[in-house]
Structure 1
Amino acid sequence: MSTPTATRLQAADASVTVVSNTVFVTDWARRYFGPWWNAYTIDTDSNCPAPLVVADVNQPAYADLATLIDACPHQEVTYAKARTLLARDRAGTITAISPEEGLAYRSEPEAGRLTITGLTAEPVALAAARIAREMIRATLLRDGWTLLHASAVARDGKTLLTFGSKGAGKTTTALLLASRGLHLLANDRVFIRPDGDGLQVLPWPSAAAIGLGLLDALGLYDIVRDRLKAGEQLHPTQHQDVTDALLAGRREPLWEAGGKREKKVQVFPDQFTSWFGMTLATGGTAAGLLFPRIDPAASPALIEDDRTLSEQDFMSGATEDRYPDIFALAHGIDGGGSERARATVADHLAQLPHHPVVLGHDANANADFLSKLADSI
């Protein structure tokens, strides 16, 4: 049997340990979270502290849990877009199996321990990272943090938050500013909490989804294509159609059936630095709010708009349907934090400068304008 390895993850006062006999699993957690959170190897000779994720490639253990699920009353749910069979015993232990992924879970919420067993290494690593992040989230939410649906960049600790519905330009704004020397703190969501008279901001580590057209407009398309042709890989959640399009040199957007959702490039956090030369931020204090919209015919400019924060700018249980809390990790707290925390954050944000802007399709002009605006804030 392999020697167990452990990666400790920490964000603010929240922490979780990922332990595995498969070094690929703990290496994955360290790579995935390290650029934005504190991630480091710890000794496994002593007992690893809870919260704890134990994740291994173990075919007999997987088969045992699959047999247990078959023998018990269970329900069928969707978790991480996969069909999942779920059972709970009288002691509160939750057992689940995802047959298509070859993954089995055993959650002991009171002990702060979740065990993952699977048939192959990559799905186990993906699941362990997902569960570890959910455990960090649960602790932060209990400590008064909440989650905003926003991108963020920082300079000297001062953070600009960008809000908007899908397609408004959150990712565009963040990456343009990161290309001009600001530090990328988040692509799509951030943790935020009042701290004294200000608002402390933390990253939410995840693969960043970037459309092929935006990648091209930002001047990053050829970098990604050359890296793929050299044998490097993007995040495995990326659809194969996107990889095929990149390798073939196709730059037009790809759409799922029905044309409502774009298939996008999925970039690892560390690839922003190693591929694109961008610097990542590990935290900051909120200093201003941007509300962009895209108009292909427009020149970038400040505009008159009464747009301000609304409930849709906060992540909540209703927006987190991809990862419902089937393993009782949040202990009843909404996935976006308490109503009181959201209200307090909204009050603080309302006092910061608000800047509605319009962006055109000239990436350099957009970047020049946003960089000057960031300097003024």
Structure 2
Amino acid sequence: MSATRLEAAAAVVTVFSNRAEVTDWALRYFGPWWKAASVDAAEVCAEAVVSADVNPRGYEETTLLVQDGRPTEAVDYAKHPLLVAHDGDDIIATSPEEGIAYRSSPSSGLLALAGTDAQRLALAATRLAREAIRGQLLREGWAVLHSSAVVRPDDGATLLAFGDKGAGKTTSALLLASHGWQLLANDRVLVRPTGERDVEVVPWPSAAALGLGLLHSLGWDVTAQEHLRAGGSFHPTQHVSVTEALLAGDHTPLWESAKRERKVQVFPDQFPDLFDVPLATGGRAAALLFPQVEADAAPDVIDGTRTLGEADFMSGATEDRYPDVFGQARGVDGGGRDSARAEVASRLAELPHHAVRLSHDVPASAALLSKVADAS
């Protein structure tokens, strides 16, 4: 039996498994962002536990329970159909496409998974561990913002970047993280009012989706290509066409649909290891950034009236890929309580707001962002 312990603010979850590749996956995926560490399974005493075993018999037994005449609900979860039922106070579910069965006991904090494939089980256990951490934090007054974030290492000041898809949140964060700041989050953060006026920020670990054009403009495409040619890989959710483009040195954007680009999927630990981008584990909100990208325009500070809105908070409605079918939030909205979100919005509204125009001129955009960020 192996174990990986995760910690974010005051939330703690331990992942156990009979296969080391499952707990190793959690160790790598959460890394320093959530202080992931291998621990002695025999010595762990944790309230919240994700137990994930490669156990085909356990999968079959839960499948039979779900099918055994209980009221069953079909839910889309992580792009797979999930059949959900109840066994007393427990929530049970099966994902036939993945060969994974779930049992959640919300009152005790136990999440048990049984699967037929170690890699699929590792992915599922990581998702559930993240949901367990989020559930604890939401109940303690945290909220979730749709924002990238970077931290100034000398004082913990955190710059939060907001905007719709394609606005430049990721670009802003990575440019600053390549110029002296630390990367706290690529797409969302957990926030909580603390003290009289502060807002504490911790990361929401996830694989970062970087367009082929952005990777090239940052000068990282050659490193990515060399990594693949040496036998390395990126996150398994990366489409094979993206891998082929990287190997061919082609940075032409690949489109899955009119609005969805296929992107390079970067593990958190690959930022420091491959691209020399340091990671931060927490900070204090200091300023808000509202970027917009105009390919051929000169980077500049621009007039803007944009401020924080309801759409900038994640919620149960926007978190459609991972609905809270396992009861981790215990009735709290997936983006946090209304009171927590309102207080965070009020405090952030008092911080400096910067609207900036970025372009495909990376050095000029980086210089502008650094000037704005350093003044915050």
The superposition leaves residues 112-162 of structure 1 with CA deviations (integer Å, 9 ceiling, x where unpaired) of 101111111111111111100101001101111101100000112010000
The answer to whether the aligner puts 1:30 opposite 2:46 as a matched pair is no
1:308 paired residue number? 307
Q: Name the stretch that deviates more: 57-66 or 174-183.
A: 57-66
Q: Name the stretch that deviates more: 236-245 or 162-171.
A: 236-245
Aligned pairs for 1:332-351 within 5 A: 332-351=331-350
2:254 paired residue number? 254
Work out the CA distance in 1 between the residues paired with 2:253 and 2:241: 11
Work out the CA distance in 1 between the residues paired with 2:320 and 2:294: 31
SS in 2 for 1:349: helix
1:204 paired residue number? 204
The superposition leaves residues 49-78 of structure 1 with CA deviations (integer Å, 9 ceiling, x where unpaired) of 221100011111112222222223322111
Aligned residue type for 2:225: R
SS in 2 for 1:315: coil
* Deviation (angstroms), 1:324: 0.3
| Percent identity (aligned) | 58
* Deviation (angstroms), 1:360: 1.2
Aligned residue type for 1:206: S
Aligned residue type for 1:179: S
Aligned pairs for 1:32-71 within 5 A: 32-46=29-43, 48-71=45-68
The superposition leaves residues 319-346 of structure 1 with CA deviations (integer Å, 9 ceiling, x where unpaired) of 1000001111110100000000000000
Work out the CA distance in 1 between the residues paired with 2:187 and 2:113: 27
Runs of 4+ in 1 over 6 A off after TM superposition: none
Work out the CA distance in 1 between the residues paired with 2:42 and 2:174: 42
Work out the CA distance in 2 between the residues paired with 1:250 and 1:239: 15
The answer to whether the aligner puts 1:130 opposite 2:127 as a matched pair is yes
The answer to whether the aligner puts 1:287 opposite 2:286 as a matched pair is yes
* Deviation (angstroms), 1:41: 2.2
SS in 2 for 1:316: coil
* Deviation (angstroms), 1:46: 4.3
Work out the CA distance in 2 between the residues paired with 1:65 and 1:181: 50
Aligned residue type for 1:29: A
1:324 paired residue number? 323
Work out the CA distance in 2 between the residues paired with 1:287 and 1:51: 32
Aligned residue type for 2:207: A
2:362 paired residue number? 363
2:12 paired residue number? 15
* Deviation (angstroms), 1:251: 0.8
The superposition leaves residues 282-321 of structure 1 with CA deviations (integer Å, 9 ceiling, x where unpaired) of 1111110110001112111110111111101111111100
Equivalent pairs counted in the alignment come to: 372
1:217 paired residue number? 217
2:108 paired residue number? 111
Q: Specify every segment of 5 or more residues in structure 1 that has no aligned partner in the other structure, as ranges.
A: none
SS in 1 for 2:93: strand
The superposition leaves residues 220-277 of structure 1 with CA deviations (integer Å, 9 ceiling, x where unpaired) of 1111111011111101111122112212222111111x32211111100000000000
Aligned pairs for 1:138-287 within 5 A: 138-155=135-152, 156=154, 157-196=156-195, 197-256=197-256, 258-287=257-286
Work out the CA distance in 1 between the residues paired with 2:239 and 2:198: 40
- When normalised by structure 2's length, the TM-score is 0.97
Work out the CA distance in 2 between the residues paired with 1:297 and 1:238: 29
Work out the CA distance in 2 between the residues paired with 1:215 and 1:47: 41
Contact 1:25/1:125 (<8 A) preserved: yes
* Deviation (angstroms), 1:102: 1.2
Aligned residue type for 2:85: A
Work out the CA distance in 2 between the residues paired with 1:192 and 1:95: 31
* Deviation (angstroms), 1:361: 1.1
Contact 1:8/1:18 (<8 A) preserved: yes
